[in-house]
């Protein structure tokens, strides 16, 4: 159906920015309207990139889990009970790429994007479990340097994840500093 959603979003944002916001004098409604305009810009970016970013992220997480599992099962980290326990957890990717784990009675995902979001969330939860396992394993001084290498690998992934997230969320950022092109002032 035309116009496409991204075309409509562009139109809505234009109308908010050029017509609606300049006509609002009350501070709070003006602040709300500017928030709406920023959210519309964010939605435009999501429409454009979200599916691809989620797929990339899922693939990177599956690769990261394989890498971590290999590290955690080699000496000296193989001696850690908590890391071994994490390795025994079923990684979300093991259920089939792109397929989200669902609880009993939980509805099936309604769209490709929803399925990707659920799959991504399950993997992020699995990575949180890995980080917490490393926290515990790190209490053993003998494992610290090996854990530090794993953390560097995890942080490199997290940096890439953040770069993707930031690209989508940037329109909603606020700044308290002097006006800059990429961030809106905290004021109305």
Partner 1 sequence: MAAVTENASTTKLSPEAVQAYLQHVLPELEDLAVSRVWRNVGGMSRETWFADASWQLNGVRTEGRYTIRVDHPGGSVIPVALWWEYRVLEALYGSAVPVARPVAYENDLSWIGRAPFYVRETVPGTASPSELYAPGREDLRRDIGAQFARLLASVHTFEWQHSGLTDFMPVPTSAVECATLELRRWRDHYRAHAVDPQPVMAELFSYLEQHPPAEVSQISLVWGDVGVGNFIFDQGRIVALTDWEQSHLGDPMKDWASALWRSVDALLPAEELFEIYTEACGIPVDTDAIQYYFAFYDAECVSTSHPVTSQFLDGRTAEATFARLALGIPFYCQDHAFRTLGW
175 sits near partner 1 (criterion: CB under 8 A): yes
Assigned token pair, 115:
């399925």
Pairing state between β 184-185 and 174-175: parallel
> Bridge partners of 174?
184
Report the residue number, 75 or 181, with the smaller CB distance to partner 1: 181
For residues 125 to 154, the per-residue mask of contacts with partner 1, x marking binding by CB under 8 A and - elsewhere, is x-xx--xx-xx--x------------x--x
> Bridge partners of 175?
185
Which uninterrupted H or E stretch holds 137? helix 112-137
Binding-residue total with partner 1 (CB under 8 A)? 45
Report the residue number, 74 or 135, with the smaller CB distance to partner 1: 135
22 sits near partner 1 (criterion: CB under 8 A): no
Assigned token pair, 9:
């979003």
Task: Give, as ranges, the residues between 41 and 70 that touch partner 1 (CB under 8 A).
Answer: 42
Between CA 153 and CA 148 the distance in angstroms is 9
174 sits near partner 1 (criterion: CB under 8 A): yes
Between CA 74 and CA 86 the distance in angstroms is 14
* Nearest of 64, 186, 42, 181 to residue 120 by alpha carbon: 64
Assigned token pair, 178:
């002097």
Report the residue number, 103 or 179, with the smaller CB distance to partner 1: 179
Pick the binder of partner 1 from 39, 71, 89, 113 (CB under 8 A).
39
173 sits near partner 1 (criterion: CB under 8 A): yes
Q: Is 187 helix (H, G, I), strand (E, B) or coil?
A: coil
Give the footprint of partner 1 on this chain (CB under 8 A): 26-28, 30-32, 35-36, 38-39, 42, 121, 124-125, 127-128, 131-132, 134-135, 138, 151, 154-155, 158-159, 161-162, 165-166, 168-170, 172-179, 185-188
């Amino acid at each position: 159906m035309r116009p496409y959603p991204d075309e409509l979003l562009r139109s809505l944002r234009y109308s908010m920015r050029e017509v609606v916001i300049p006509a609002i004098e009350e501070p709070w409604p003006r602040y709300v309207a500017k928030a709406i305009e920023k959210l519309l810009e964010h939605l435009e970016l999501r429409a454009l990139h979200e599916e691809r970013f989620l797929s990339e992220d899922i693939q990177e997480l599956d690769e990261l889990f394989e890498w971590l599992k290999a590290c955690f099962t080699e000496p000296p980290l193989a001696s850690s009970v908590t890391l071994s326990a994490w390795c025994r957890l079923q990684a979300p990717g093991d259920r089939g790429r792109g397929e989200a784990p669902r609880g009993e009675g939980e509805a099936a995902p309604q769209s490709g994007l929803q399925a990707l979001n659920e799959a991504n969330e399950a993997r992020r939860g699995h990575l949180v479990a890995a980080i917490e396992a490393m926290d515990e394993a790190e209490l053993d001084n003998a494992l610290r340097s090996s854990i530090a290498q794993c953390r560097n690998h995890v942080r490199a992934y997290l940096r890439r994840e953040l770069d993707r997230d930031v690209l989508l969320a940037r329109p909603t950022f606020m700044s308290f500093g002097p006006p800059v092109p990429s961030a809106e002032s905290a004021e109305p």
